[in-house]
């Protein structure tokens, strides 16, 4: 069994393929954390619960017979506030008496096959109860009458587990949740490095690594989205860990709003890792009988380096996060008009794109921003989701029929969470945007944010979207989100609930996306937020791919895609060939193939030679689709660590084929390149397609390839395709 409970020793032992997680029910029903790391068969670990010597400055519970115990020096599983643990705590609830002393103790548990859904929130799922096992531990605060349910689900064969928390008010008085983290893990030492993904617009998810110091450190967002600036992913890795060796603990929050990842290194050399909703600005009123569900954290452990941690995340998300038809169905190769035309287009101009795109082998035309209301620039009309038939020259139904007759599927752009100040909707309902009475409304990109905490607002917007999607054969929807939340107040909520706005808004977004999934099960949704400003697993639950970045420069894309791949699989990363002049079309395509491939340009501008190049690229997209979308990724040369080159490869699950890609960012000082491949079967023979040379997997991995003579100019690249010789 992947989850065991030793009744005599009061020990919980959770096992994945790669790791073990162990807890103990201690005296007075304290729930203590004992171990998280490489898989071990036994649980004789009680000696690990202490992280130092008891001293008078570490308060103790006088009812505990073990005189060495104090919440301040033990590894606590889910520590509360103001009851003896001075480190950053996992939960704080202010009761009706006005104090926030919080102390949850073990009450009961149950173990069962499968995995529960989370009310109102995205989460990993199983289609067969045999794919996962779940432990629910109920803990109570006997003084306040509050109850928490800690939920642990083990994906045994994938080397991963998830955690979430539900807080219930079983008392007869209201309480206020001031903080609730989904995950808390105490480590006996802080001798690790921290890897996070930082960035900005056009430069998202760049990996940053630093030693963990004493004190508090971490990352988070207060923008109302997961943001361009930090991602809800972090890895704690052993100081010498690299792609292939060392320990790596990965944490990823399935959430799309304000998050916090925190590390608190204590006085005894240990550290506490927490992940969940950012407590800054968060406050939730919990009435008697109500429950609050916190989002889910995904935890992955690898003792085979950072690369294997990433591959576990990729396998897990491809199977248990991405849902619906497009989890397994081949995604269409699309062309989007935005970079070619912005909002300056007509129906006939788009049809001209479609005719050429069909000749070249593309499969879908996406009409981006500018098709609705009085939308001729970004100053106006968001919220007025009515087709501008004068601009299209027809109804949407008629226009889409023409696109379909050419032989392409059709996609459309929405920004459903936003409202323009200059719009019919704002003039009719100025209170429908987020705002605080008496304060000027901050403007960004000439727009405000709709108050998605309100059911009437959500129903109105969804009604408009449903009408558009129902009146034409729309196969794809690009969902955009182009500003962050400010003046986060609601005209529909009482004063005591204004601290709930950020969370209620993202729940509203999830609700509408869920309705789209149910009402239009064949619709392919791609998320976008100024590019990659909301690239998180919460969004991936509703849309199988996300526009990785508005930056389509292939050289700039390297660090973005390398960083993104620390957690997210290639199939989730929207990547297009654009008209960017920095490199040739070969390198543009070689980089964009690492993702859901497409084009972002005017196909009418292609020369005859360029048309043939694009046709060849499209053929390669189909040829390499499976190995890229379903294979294992190996990062060979990291552009953040090598100033000259980047290289990566995909290997099919059965190790019968591999695709290697290398890009020269700038001319290297040396001509030679010996590239050792990874992930192959050392016993198999592989033929490199272009040269016809045959190598053993062992030779390719241990001796490597001598790539002397490959392109060395700035922006050049090459691919090598290997197929098993049978």
Nearest residue to 308 via CA among 250, 238, 231: 250
53 pLDDT more than 90 = no
Banded model confidence at residue 669, pLDDT cuts 50, 70, 90: confident
Q: Residue 463 in contact with residue 519, Cβ under 8 Å?
A: no
DSSP string of 472-517?
TT--EEEE---S---S---TTS-GGGGGGHHHHHHHHHHHHHHHHH
Residue with more model confidence, 549 or 52? 549
Query: Are residue 370 and residue 298 in the same domain, yes or no?
Result: no
pLDDT of residue 68: 79
Q: Residue 478 in contact with residue 411, Cβ under 8 Å?
A: yes
Give the chain's radius of gyration (CA, Å).
Answer: 27
Query: Are residue 115 and residue 188 in the same domain, yes or no?
Result: yes
Domain count for the chain: 3
Q: Which residues pair with 50 in a beta bridge?
A: 74
pLDDT of residue 56: 78
Query: Are residue 382 and residue 302 in the same domain, yes or no?
Result: no
Query: Are residue 80 and residue 58 in the same domain, yes or no?
Result: yes
Query: Are residue 268 and residue 391 in the same domain, yes or no?
Result: no
The CATH number covering residue 360 comes to 3.20.20.70
Extended strands (E) in 278-403:
284-286, 291-293, 296-302, 334-336, 364-367
Banded model confidence at residue 524, pLDDT cuts 50, 70, 90: very high
Is residue 426 domain-resident?
A: no
Mean pLDDT of 206-235: 98
- Distance, CA of 609 to CA of 589 (rounded, Å): 15
Is residue 448 domain-resident?
A: no
pLDDT of residue 712: 81
Angle between helices 347-360 and 396-406 (to 10 degrees): 20
Residues ≥6 apart with Cβ < 8 Å to 616: none
Average pLDDT, the chain: 96
- Distance, CA of 238 to CA of 106 (rounded, Å): 32
- Distance, CA of 624 to CA of 533 (rounded, Å): 28
Is residue 533 domain-resident?
A: yes
pTM for the whole thing? 0.98
211 burial via Cβ count (<10 Å: 0-12, 13-18, 19+): exposed
Query: Are residue 135 and residue 26 in the same domain, yes or no?
Result: yes
Query: Are residue 263 and residue 407 in the same domain, yes or no?
Result: no
Nearest residue to 697 via CA among 713, 681, 710, 708: 681
- Distance, CA of 571 to CA of 327 (rounded, Å): 9
Is residue 82 domain-resident?
A: yes
Mean pLDDT of 390-417: 98
Q: Tell me how far the alpha carbon of residue 683 is from its chain's centroid.
A: 36
469 pLDDT more than 80 = yes
For this structure, is 550 an active site residue? yes
Is residue 215 domain-resident?
A: yes
Angstrom CA distances, 578 to 169, 381, 581, 609, 645, stand at: 54, 27, 9, 17, 21
Query: Are residue 232 and residue 346 in the same domain, yes or no?
Result: no
Query: Are residue 307 and residue 343 in the same domain, yes or no?
Result: no
For 332, the domain range is 325-417+456-483+514-547
Question: Which residue, chain included where needed, has tokens 């008078």?
Answer: 56
Is residue 692 domain-resident?
A: yes
Give the domain-ending residue among 275, 292, 320. Answer: 320
Is residue 497 domain-resident?
A: no
Residues ≥6 apart with Cβ < 8 Å to 14: 2, 3, 20, 21, 22, 135, 152, 154, 161
Banded model confidence at residue 60, pLDDT cuts 50, 70, 90: confident
Catalytic residue among 141, 451, 550, 553: 550
The CATH number covering residue 312 comes to 2.70.98.60
Q: What is the pLDDT of residues 270-310, one digit of tens each?
A: 999 999 999 999 999 999 999 999 999 999 999 999 999 99
3-state SS track over 346-369: CHHHHHHHHHHHHHHCCCEEEECC
- Distance, CA of 113 to CA of 454 (rounded, Å): 37
- Distance, CA of 374 to CA of 343 (rounded, Å): 11
Nearest residue to 228 via CA among 640, 547, 503, 658: 547
Catalytic residue among 15, 72, 264, 480: 480
Q: What is the pLDDT of residues 181-202, one digit of tens each?
A: 999 999 999 999 999 999 999 9
Extended strands (E) in 303-394:
334-336, 364-367
Query: Are residue 128 and residue 52 in the same domain, yes or no?
Result: yes
pLDDT of residue 57: 87
For this structure, is 480 an active site residue? yes
Query: Are residue 141 and residue 231 in the same domain, yes or no?
Result: yes
Give the domain-ending residue among 525, 547, 569. Answer: 547
Is residue 606 domain-resident?
A: no
Give the domain-ending residue among 301, 320, 339. Answer: 320
Banded model confidence at residue 264, pLDDT cuts 50, 70, 90: very high
């Amino acid at each position: 069994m992947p989850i065991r409970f030793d009744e005599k020793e009061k020990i919980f032992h959770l096992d994945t393929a790669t790791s073990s997680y162990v807890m103990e029910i201690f005296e007075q029903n304290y729930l203590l954390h004992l171990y998280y790391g490489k898989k071990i068969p036994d649980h004789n670990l009680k000696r690990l619960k202490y992280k130092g010597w008891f001293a008078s400055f570490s308060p103790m519970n006088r009812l505990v017979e073990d005189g060495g115990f104090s919440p301040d020096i033990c590894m606590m599983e889910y520590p509360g506030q103001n009851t003896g643990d001075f480190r950053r705590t996992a939960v704080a609830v202010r009761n009706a008496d006005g104090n926030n002393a919080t102390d949850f103790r073990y009450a009961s548990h149950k173990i069962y096959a499968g995995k529960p859904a989370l009310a109102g929130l995205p989460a990993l799922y199983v289609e067969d109860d045999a794919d996962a096992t779940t432990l629910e531990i109920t803990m109570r605060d006997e003084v306040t009458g509050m109850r928490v349910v800690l939920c642990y689900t083990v994906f045994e064969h994938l080397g991963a587990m998830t955690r979430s928390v539900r807080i219930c008010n079983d008392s007869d008085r209201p309480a206020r949740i001031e903080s609730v983290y989904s995950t808390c893990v105490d480590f006996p030492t802080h001798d690790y490095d921290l890897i996070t993904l930082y960035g900005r617009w056009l430069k998202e998810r760049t990996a940053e690594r630093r030693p963990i110091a004493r004190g508090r450190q971490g990352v988070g967002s207060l923008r109302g989205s997961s943001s361009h600036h930090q991602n809800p992913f972090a890895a704690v890795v052993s100081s010498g860990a690299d792609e292939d060796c060392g320990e790596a603990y990965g944490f990823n929050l399935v959430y799309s709003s304000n998050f916090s990842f925190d590390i608190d290194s204590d006085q005894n050399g240990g550290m506490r890792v927490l992940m969940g909703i950012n407590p800054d600005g968060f406050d939730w009123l919990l009435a008697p009988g109500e429950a609050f569900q916190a989002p889910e954290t995904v935890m992955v452990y690898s003792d085979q380096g950072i690369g294997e941690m990433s591959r576990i995340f990729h396998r897990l998300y491809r199977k248990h996060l991405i849902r619906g038809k497009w989890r397994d169905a081949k995604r269409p190769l699309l062309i989007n008009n935005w970079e070619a035309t912005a909002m300056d287009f007509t129906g006939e101009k788009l049809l001209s794109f479609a005719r050429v795109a069909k000749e070249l082998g593309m499969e879908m035309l996406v009409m981006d921003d500018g098709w609705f209301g009085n939308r001729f620039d970004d100053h106006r009309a968001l919220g007025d989701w009515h087709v501008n038939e004068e601009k299209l020259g027809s109804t949407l139904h008629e226009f889409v029929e023409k696109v379909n007759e050419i032989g392409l599927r059709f996609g459309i752009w929405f920004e459903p969470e936003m409202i323009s100040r200059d719009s019919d909707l704002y003039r009719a309902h100025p209170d429908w945007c987020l705002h605080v009475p008496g304060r000027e409304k901050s403007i960004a990109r000439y727009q405000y944010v709709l108050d998605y905490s309100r059911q009437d607002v959500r129903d109105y917007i969804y009604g408009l979207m449903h009408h558009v999607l129902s009146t034409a054969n729309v196969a794809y929807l690009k969902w955009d989100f182009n500003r962050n939340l400010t003046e986060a107040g609601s005209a529909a909520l009482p004063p005591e609930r204004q601290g709930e706005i950020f969370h209620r808004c993202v729940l509203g977004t999830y609700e509408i996306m869920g309705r789209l999934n149910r009402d239009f099960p064949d619709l392919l949704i791609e998320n976008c937020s100024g590019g990659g400003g909301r690239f998180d697993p919460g969004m991936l639950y509703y849309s199988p791919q996300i526009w990785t970045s508005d930056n389509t420069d292939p050289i700039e894309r390297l660090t973005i895609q390398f960083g993104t791949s620390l957690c997210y699989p290639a199939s989730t990363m929207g990547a297009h060939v654009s008209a960017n002049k920095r490199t040739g079309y070969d390198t543009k395509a070689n980089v964009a193939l690492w993702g859901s491939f497409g084009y972002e340009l005017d196909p009418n501008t292609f020369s005859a030679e360029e048309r043939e190049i694009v046709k060849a690229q499209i053929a390669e997209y189909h040829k390499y689709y499976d190995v890229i979308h379903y294979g294992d990724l190996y990062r060979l040369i990291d552009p953040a660590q090598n100033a000259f080159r980047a290289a990566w490869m995909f290997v099919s699950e059965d190790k019968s084929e591999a695709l290697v890609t290398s890009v020269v960012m700038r001319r290297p000082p040396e001509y030679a390149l010996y590239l050792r491949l990874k992930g192959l079967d050392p016993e198999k023979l592989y033929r490199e397609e272009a040269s016809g040379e045959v190598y053993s997997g062992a030779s390719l991995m241990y001796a490597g390839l001598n790539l002397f003579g490959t392109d060395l100019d700035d922006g050049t690249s090459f691919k090598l395709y290997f197929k098993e010789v049978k």
